[in-house]
Amino acid sequence: MRHMSLAMLVLGTLSVAGSTDASAQGKKSDVTGFTADYTDIGPVVGLGGIGSAGLSLGGRFEKAIKALPDLGNGVLAIQISADYYKYSNSISSSDYSFSYIPIGATLNYHIHIDDHHFDPFVGLGLGYLIVSSSFNGTGYSTGSGIYFIGRAGLRYFVSNSMALYADAGTGA
């Protein structure tokens, strides 16, 4: 099970996201991809390997803020996300549980490619992790705090209003 959790962590976070593109023109079947007018909001189902928490639920919002013609025609965007995951276990006769709520913001650079169905990106940001635990044993401490986020990902546009999204990296 641990190997499967690690494999899922590498695959990253998967979601089906609703998206809007204010510049969408032409036939309905045309996909315009990630443009400087793009706004995206969607649910997140995360797969990971923290303790025995293999599944997280959350949401993500991303807004393109600037076209970067001098940087390979890429697009700069800001993304805000929040997730929730929890796991429980027991050691000897002590039961314990942990819950995590990472809230993060990243600046993402969306790499321009000619096939508008694909949207590769990289991002850097900061987050705040809220941790709570029911275990207060000797030699154990837990705390909330600020963390760095680094990610690389890919969005695949099924249509102008729906995309599949996956990313992997550090942080939320």
User: Do 12 and 5 contact (CB within 8 A), yes or no?
Assistant: no
The torsion angle over the Cα atoms of residues 109, 112, 116 and 122, rounded to 10 degrees, is -30
Q: What is the pLDDT of residues 95-153, one digit of tens each?
A: 777 888 999 999 999 999 999 999 999 999 999 999 888 765 555 556 789 999 999 99
Q: What is the pLDDT of residues 91-102, one digit of tens each?
A: 776 677 788 899
